[in-house]
Amino acid sequence: MDNYFNKTRENINGGSSGAFLFLSRPRKQYQAKGPLEYLTSGPVYEELKAAVDTKHPRVGVVVLTVEELYSGAERLA
């Protein structure tokens, strides 16, 4: 959820791709990579907007479409 992105929003709207790194048990690492999309309306935006405290601006939401998935250096998809 974009509460105070500013420069990040500009980069996303300029066509930046992104990556998300996460750990699962038992300490297995994964990285998802793909294009980013910035949404200010629609069901995904509304769902996340409802989940964030109204004291925050809730300007938009960023969605990562996973095109590549890695575990360490191994490409899984």
What residue ranges define each of the domains in the chain, with the CATH number in brackets? 7-75 (2.30.110.10)
Mean pLDDT computed over every residue of the chain? 94
- 30: Cβ–Cβ under 8 A, 6 or more apart, which residues? 21, 22, 23, 24, 69, 70, 71, 76
Query: Angle at Cα 35 formed by Cα 32 and Cα 71, nearest 5°?
Result: 15
**Shortest CA distance to 56 belongs to which of 6, 2, 13?**
2
A 10 A CB-CB count for 2 gives 21
Tell me if 16 sits within 8 A of 36, measured CB to CB. Answer: yes
Band (pLDDT 50/70/90 cuts) for residue 27 is confident
Q: Say what the pTM is.
A: 0.80
